[in-house]
Amino acid sequence: MQLHVGIDDTDSPEGGCTTYVAALLVERLAKMRCRFLDYPNLLRLNPNAPWKTRGNGSICIRMEAPQGAEADIKKAVIEIVESHAEFQCDNTNPGVVFHLGEIPKELETFHNEVVQTIVHLEDAERLISRYCSSAVAWKNRRGLIGALASIGGTLRGDHTYELLTYRTAPNRGMKRLIDEDSVKRMDSLIPETFNNIDPETNKVLIAPRGPDPVLYGVRGETPESVLAASRLIEVGEPIERWVIFRTNQGTDAHLSRQYRVSELIPRHPSIVTGIFEGRHRIIEGGHVIFTVGDDSGRIDCAAYEPSGSFRDIVTKLTEGDVVKVAGGVRETDVGLTLNLERLEILSLAHKFRLVSPRCPICDGPTESMGRGQGLRCKKCGNKGPGLIKKLVEVPRDLRPGLYLPPPRAERHLTKPLERLGREKQGVPATLLVPWHSD
Ligand SMILES: [Zn+2]
């Protein structure tokens, strides 16, 4: 009996983590003689969803379960969710969905919709009653959307891996004791891992902040690489348990829909190709705003202060540059703004500047005699008719290409530059031994 269990929205900003629920569940299911068909899938959903708690991550566990075990498995899932979800948080609305057999195409489509747009609870409930064996929802039931989406997120296209380690209860909320030098060493030894260190600040990025149970997560291209990496990372506190997840993190799964400016929809991750108009503006807080237009309209784009040197690229753009901007669309009092997550410069405009010529008689510098009055040599006084300002092309300190914020400001879903060309397809035929703690 092929069984897929989707879980979403058990965490809150104050703690908990849906991946931790998955880690507990994997151990319980292993004891119930379930055979796992894949690593647990960790699916990040639309990062602009208004009701997300933290990383907007959902989980699907796919298994071959013993005949007749469904009721016991369901009981175990509900028990673990009920004892670990952060029910006291208004924004935490857990949902669990159970699906038997192959994944229908409609659920894969639903998954893409949930990653790339905003969907309604009724759509999820309609699909659940049509395709799934059962579902359990708590509070406002919204967790069903992510739980169903995770079942449809089969990750047959590009994917990555993350090995997550968890802290013991007494250490949660305390400073994480991770040896930073060991992380830097690991980063240089295992190139199949990514986003370990921020190159601009040299900061270690593998540990979250805050009270959640995650000690660190190491991201990479293969299960072997993240397991090898974790063996090189030295920590000063006990690791309670660990699991390798297969995930859509680092794949740009959210950013794949092209829109014309007039067709943009708030909260949809969107790509717009257009022309840079006017000049950039720097607003309070150090955020850089600029305007991109196409034949249907124009939109403000924002590169926020935490994106660091990414803003410097934006400030070098000039009128007429052709760009492809990508990010989440936000509704403001004055219209829509695209929060820039990715900038591709397709072509650069020629940039000119008016320059006063040298004097043809004495080679001295020339100056303007006033508005509409022509030029005069500062040295010999020559003001012949040949003295006119010339347009000179200014070299551009910028190249066409793809630009991203530094890793410290990237979203979970953002594909890092170092992953370009490493995209892969397919579902693993076998699982690494071990891929989780007992
Ligand atoms: Zn002169």
Query: Cα of 372 to ligand 1 centre, how many Å?
Result: 20
For residues 153 and 245, the answer to whether their CB atoms sit within 8 Å is no
Given a cut of 70, is residue 52 above it in pLDDT?
no
Measured CA to CA, the distance from residue 115 to residue 247 in angstroms comes to 13
Identify which of 271, 226, 266, 265 has the alpha carbon closest to the alpha carbon of residue 244.
Answer: 226
- Class of the CATH domain delimited by 160-247: alpha beta
pLDDT tens for each residue of 407-419: 998 889 999 999 9
Percentage of the chain modeled with pLDDT above 90: 84
Taking CA atoms, 166 is separated from 113, 158, 220, 311, in Å, by: 31, 26, 18, 35
User: What pLDDT sits at residue 14?
Assistant: 64
Rounded to the nearest whole angstrom, what is the distance from the C-alpha of residue 7 to the centroid of ligand 1?
81
59 vs 149: CA distance, rounded Å: 9
What's 238-287 look like in SS3? Answer: CEEEEEEEEECCCCCCCCCCECCHHHCCCCCEEEEEEEEEEEEEEECCCE
Task: Please check whether residue 334 is in contact with residue 360, taking contact to mean a CB–CB distance below 8 angstroms.
Answer: no
> How many Å lie between the centroid of ligand 1 and the Cα of residue 380?
4
CA 179-180-181 angle, to 5 degrees, is 95
Distance 395 CA to ligand 1 centre (A): 28
Token pair listed for 85 = 């979800």
Cα-to-centroid distance, 24 and ligand 1 (Å): 85
Nearest by Cα to 28 from 243, 245, 246, 247: 243
What's the mean per-residue pLDDT of the chain? 94
Q: How far is the first Cα of the chain from the last one, in angstroms, to the nearest whole number?
A: 24
Separation of CA 378 and ligand 1 centre (Å): 7
Q: What is the mean pLDDT of residues 334-351?
A: 96
The residues that bridge with 217 in the sheet, in sequence order, are: 164
The model's confidence at residue 55, banded by pLDDT at 50, 70 and 90, is low
Would you say how long the chain is, in residues? 438
Q: Is the pLDDT of residue 181 over 80?
A: yes
Nearest to 324 by CA among 408, 257, 266, 268: 257
Q: What is the pTM of this model?
A: 0.93
Characterize the bridge pairing of strands 351-355 and 390-394: antiparallel
User: Which residues surround the ion ligand 1 when the cut-off is CB under 5 Å?
Assistant: 359, 361-362, 364, 377, 379-380, 382
Q: Tell me the CA–centroid distance for residue 51 and ligand 1, in Å.
A: 71
> CATH: 2.20.25.10, 3.40.30.10, 2.40.50.1010, 3.40.640.10. Which one for 261-348+396-410?
2.40.50.1010
The pLDDT-based confidence of 54 (bands split at 50, 70, 90) is: low
The number of beta carbons lying within 10 Å of the beta carbon of residue 227 is 18
Note the maximum CA span of the chain: 102
CA 392 to ligand 1 centroid distance, Å:
21
pLDDT at 438: 84
Please determine, for residue 34, whether its predicted confidence score (pLDDT) is greater than 80: yes
The answer, yes or no, to whether residue 15 has pLDDT greater than 70, is no
Res 385: pLDDT: 80
Distance 166 CA to ligand 1 centre (A): 77
Please write the tens of the pLDDT for every residue from 230-276.
Answer: 999 999 999 999 999 999 999 999 999 999 999 999 999 999 999 99
The rounded Å distance from CA 362 to ligand 1 centre is: 4
How open is the CA angle 15-16-18, to the nearest 5 degrees? 140
CATH number for region 2-152: 3.30.70.2200
Q: How far is the CA of 358 from the centre of ligand 1 (A)?
A: 8
Task: Give the distance (Å) from ligand 1 centre to CA of residue 370.
Answer: 18
What ranges do the domains of the chain cover? 2-152, 160-247, 261-348+396-410, 351-394
Instruction: Calculate the CA 96 to chain-centre distance.
Output: 24
The CA 363 to ligand 1 mean position distance, Å, reads: 6
